[in-house]
């Protein structure tokens, strides 16, 4: 990896040093801020056909960027420090004595993946914190993530993985939820369908009582299940993973998926992560297209259903690497939301996830 220098509050750090020193979220806001904002702003404006000039070659905090369109000038307004919480990341260590249940050994993902690895990635906009989503089904891996987060203020929350159908679930949930960083439980489609069909909702009611969010994942059919769950357990906050894992193609979005997205959005307690876009477009080993217009019809459906107040940024890193690098993943969703205005962008990057997960500023 090439070494570049970052001016950090009067001290000069390399990107590698910044990663290994576990910067606080506030420090992360300033790591590479000028270069990151200048580049992303220019990309956002070009995506809507504007030519951009950044005065003096940089965009400093509070500076007004002037956008030239033919003979006229438009002021974009000012940029404050932009807090970006990536609400869908996975970290794991196959080199542990016990190994890992996921990913499998024959996967390109089978390597040690830690927060410092993500902090070293080239980024379109500098990520200032993350909510980790547990992919392992092992109970003690919930504790492993909490231990990982203990001394790393960049980690603001954990979405764990427990089985809400087992008798031990209340005890397990209370154990982990006693840690304020434990913010959610990932629920898979099959288990959710099973519990709804039997009307066994006690685990979800306990989650609601403890302020623990349900992260639901599965096929597009999980959207209708989430809609039903929101009706039966009204106090439960639900976060939809990966916009329902719809395939994104050059055809119009499927009507069945559009109806399910609309149904899931009816409850104000349901949020939607705009995540796994690249994977949705890059199935069967294909690389995801770079052009935002390819994704716009799908994103429009989500935006029209959930609006500015209930969409959340997530990357699904490192899984997303099968289809696109991290910069592209960021650019696709952030360029789209940027076109909705600065306030919408701030909500998307951190404000909405704070409501959905009540993650902990550190």
Weakest mean pLDDT among 6-15, 33-42, 123-132, 329-338? 6-15
CA distance 337 to 343: 10
Mapped onto helix, strand or coil, the DSSP state of residue 51 is strand
The CATH number of the domain covering residues in 85-357: 3.20.20.140
CA distance 19 to 27: 11
Q: Residue-wise over 204-241: b if at least 16 C-beta within 10 A, else e?
A: bebbbeeebbbbbbbebebbbbbbebbeebeebbbbbb
Average pLDDT, stretch 290-315? 97
Residue pair 298/253 in contact (Cβ under 8 Å)? The answer is yes
pLDDT at 287: 82
pLDDT band at 285 (very low <50, low <70, confident <90, very high): confident
* Backbone dihedral angles phi then psi of residue 327, each to the nearest 5 degrees: -60, -45
CA distance 131 to 313: 10
Residue 14 in this model has a pLDDT that exceeds 90: no
Residue pair 320/278 in contact (Cβ under 8 Å)? The answer is yes
Phi-psi region of 245 (alpha: psi -120 to 50; beta: other; left: phi over 0): left
Domain ranges of the chain: 5-78, 85-357
Average pLDDT over the chain, rounded to whole?
A: 84
pLDDT at 20: 52
Average pLDDT, stretch 88-107? 97
pLDDT band at 85 (very low <50, low <70, confident <90, very high): very high
What percent of the chain stands above pLDDT 70? Answer: 78
pLDDT band at 49 (very low <50, low <70, confident <90, very high): very low
pLDDT digits (tens, 9 = 90+) for 313-359: 999 999 999 899 999 999 999 999 999 999 999 999 999 999 999 99
Residue 185 in this model has a pLDDT that exceeds 90: yes
pTM for the whole structure:
0.81
pLDDT digits (tens, 9 = 90+) for 108-141: 999 999 999 999 999 999 999 999 999 999 999 9
pLDDT at 286: 77
pLDDT at 94: 97
Instruction: List the one residue out of 135, 215, 321 whose CA is nearest residue 144.
Output: 135
Residue with tokens 């016990």: 98
């Amino acid at each position: 990896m090439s070494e570049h220098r970052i001016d950090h509050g009067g001290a000069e750090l390399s990107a590698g040093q910044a990663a290994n020193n576990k910067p606080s979220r506030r420090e992360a806001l300033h790591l590479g801020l000028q270069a990151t904002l200048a580049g992303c702003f220019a990309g956002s404006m070009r995506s809507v056909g504007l030519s951009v000039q950044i005065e003096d070659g940089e965009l400093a905090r509070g500076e007004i960027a002037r956008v030239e369109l033919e003979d006229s000038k438009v002021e974009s307004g000012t940029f404050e420090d932009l807090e970006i919480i990536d609400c869908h990341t996975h970290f794991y260590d196959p080199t542990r004595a016990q190994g890992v249940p996921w990913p499998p050994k024959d996967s390109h993902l089978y390597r040690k993946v830690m927060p410092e690895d993500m902090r070293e990635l080239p980024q379109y906009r500098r990520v200032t914190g993350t909510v980790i989503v547990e992919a392992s089904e092992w109970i003690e891996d919930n504790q492993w993530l909490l231990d990982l987060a203990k001394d790393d203020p960049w980690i603001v929350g954990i979405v764990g993985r427990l089985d809400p159908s087992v008798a031990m679930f209340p005890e397990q949930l209370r154990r982990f939820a006693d840690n304020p960083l434990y913010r959610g439980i990932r629920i898979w489609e099959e288990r959710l369908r099973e519990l709804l069909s039997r009307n066994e909702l006690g685990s979800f009611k306990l989650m609601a009582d403890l302020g623990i969010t349900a992260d639901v994942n599965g096929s597009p059919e999980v959207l209708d299940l989430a809609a039903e769950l929101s009706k039966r357990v009204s106090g439960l906050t639900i976060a939809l993973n990966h916009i329902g894992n719809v395939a994104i193609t050059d055809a119009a979005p499927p009507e069945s998926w559009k109806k399910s997205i609309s149904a899931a959005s009816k409850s104000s307690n349901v949020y939607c992560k705009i995540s796994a876009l690249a994977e949705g477009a890059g199935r069967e080993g294909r690389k995801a297209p770079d052009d935002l217009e390819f994704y716009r019809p799908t994103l429009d459906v989500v935006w029209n259903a959930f609006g500015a107040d209930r969409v959340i940024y997530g990357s699904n890193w490192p899984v997303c690497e099968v289809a696109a690098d991290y910069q592209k993943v960021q650019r696709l969703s952030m360029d789209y939301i940027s076109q909705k205005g600065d306030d919408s962008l701030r909500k998307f990057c951190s404000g909405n996830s704070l409501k959905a997960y009540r993650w902990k500023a550190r």
